[in-house]
Amino acid sequence: MNQPTLQVTGLQTHFFTGNGAVKSVDGVTFSLLEGETLGIVGESGSGKSVTSLSIIGLIESPGRIVGGEVRFLGRDLLQLKESEMRKIRGKEISMIFQEPLTALNPVFRIGHQIQEVLMNHNQLHKADAERQTLELLKKVKISRPESAYDSYPHELSGGMRQRAMIAMAIACKPKILIADEPTTALDVSIQAQILKIMKEIIRDEGSSILLITHDLGVIAEMADRVAVMYAGQIVEQCDVYTLFKAPKHPYTQGLLKSTPKLHNNEETLDSIEGSVPHPLNMPVGCRFHPRCSYATDKCNQNEPQLRELESGHQVRCLLYENGFQ
């Protein structure tokens, strides 16, 4: 650990729609260290997926990255040509999605697709690629790997398809694996199996993982550090222990309260009132102030900056800025 494998600085990704520029990601800065799992949490629409697609170079028109840097082992990926990016995507940085059919091609057999990745990126011969593909299917604990090898994606169950996509994503031993809600669509027991496989990948390959999820239980189980996103920005970043023990941002505190808890045998769910503002209609000042019970009249005038409160703990909130306490 320690060396940043990925350093994202001031990332801005906007969608130029008929109604104006949608600033989905608006100045996101974080680093992903070697071998660590960084969780990204935040409500729907906060910009988590757009952040990850920006990193891997998959933003499509009318979206465009309008600012910032994405440094991977020192190179700014935003400066690379698509042909150079294609050599990195799927080999050095790969992605798993909530819906495996986003990544798997419906018209090719699973084995063929994984084998192609190995042959393209690692210049393996067919026989070697075939052998490695079977090993990968075993590694992700697909039942009957030989038969899965010859199956089309639609012939597998959702959980098996998810495993096949993970096998394809880790085929070239990527330095970074981006997982966008990898277990959200799965039922609880299959979720747990997929998380276990991801842990084994971290242990065996030392990959860094950017793990996007709504699920704080998944964060608690998997992440070393966490970045909390709200309305296109990071509002808090710290290690996972501090996140649960001493969250500072009122939004993070609200998110933690909104996870279901068993209390007197009743499940209670306190959610944060209101909803994430639409990027076309961002509140002035702090973007969270209309929903924040601590907001003062300063909060609708001044935009807070992400500041380091303690070593490794950053917060974007005027409550913690000098002169506002």
Ligand X SMILES: Nc1ncnc2c1ncn2[C@@H]1O[C@H](COP(=O)(O)OP(=O)(O)OP(=O)(O)O)[C@@H](O)[C@H]1O
Q: Which residues bind ligand X (CB under 6 A)?
A: 15, 17, 22, 24, 42, 44-50, 63, 214, 279
Kindly tell me which residue out of 13, 24, 31, 49 binds Mg ion, with binding defined by CB under 5 A.
49
Taking alpha carbons only, the member of 157, 319, 137, 312 closest to residue 239 is 312
**Shortest Cβ distance from residue 82 to ligand X (Å)?**
19
User: Looking at beta carbons only, is 16 or 241 nearer to ligand X?
Assistant: 16
User: Looking at beta carbons only, is 31 or 49 nearer to Mg ion?
Assistant: 49
Neighbours of 229 (CB within 10 A): 26
User: Looking at beta carbons only, is 59 or 129 nearer to ligand X?
Assistant: 59
Q: What does the alpha-carbon distance between residue 181 and residue 109 come to, in Å, rounded to a whole number?
A: 24
What are the backbone dihedrals phi and psi of residue 92, each rounded to the nearest 5 degrees, phi first? -90, -35
User: Looking at beta carbons only, is 37 or 49 nearer to Mg ion?
Assistant: 49
User: Looking at beta carbons only, is 49 or 233 nearer to Mg ion?
Assistant: 49
Q: Which does 42 bind (CB under 5 to 8 A by kind): ligand X, Mg ion, none?
A: ligand X
**Shortest Cβ distance from residue 47 to ligand X (Å)?**
4
| Residue located via tokens 């952040």 | 51
**Shortest Cβ distance from residue 49 to Mg ion (Å)?**
3
What are the backbone dihedrals phi and psi of residue 251, each rounded to the nearest 5 degrees, phi first? -70, -45
**Contact by Cβ (8 Å): 176, 93:** yes
Tokens of 3: 């060396």
Residue 102's alpha-carbon distances to 39, 97, 153, in angstroms, are 22, 7, 11
**Shortest Cβ distance from residue 102 to Mg ion (Å)?**
12
Helices (H), the chain: 48-55, 82-88, 110-122, 126-139, 145-149, 158-170, 188-205, 216-222, 240-245, 250-257
Q: Which does 50 bind (CB under 5 to 8 A by kind): Mg ion, ligand X, none?
A: ligand X
Residues 119-178 that bind Mg ion (CB under 5 A): none
Stretch that binds Mg ion, among 45-53, 152-160, 230-238, 288-296 (CB under 5 A): 45-53
**Contact by Cβ (8 Å): 178, 55:** yes
**Shortest Cβ distance from residue 53 to ligand X (Å)?**
8
**Shortest Cβ distance from residue 53 to Mg ion (Å)?**
9
Residues 250-309 that bind Mg ion (CB under 5 A): none
* Footprint on this chain of Mg ion (rule: CB under 5 A): 49
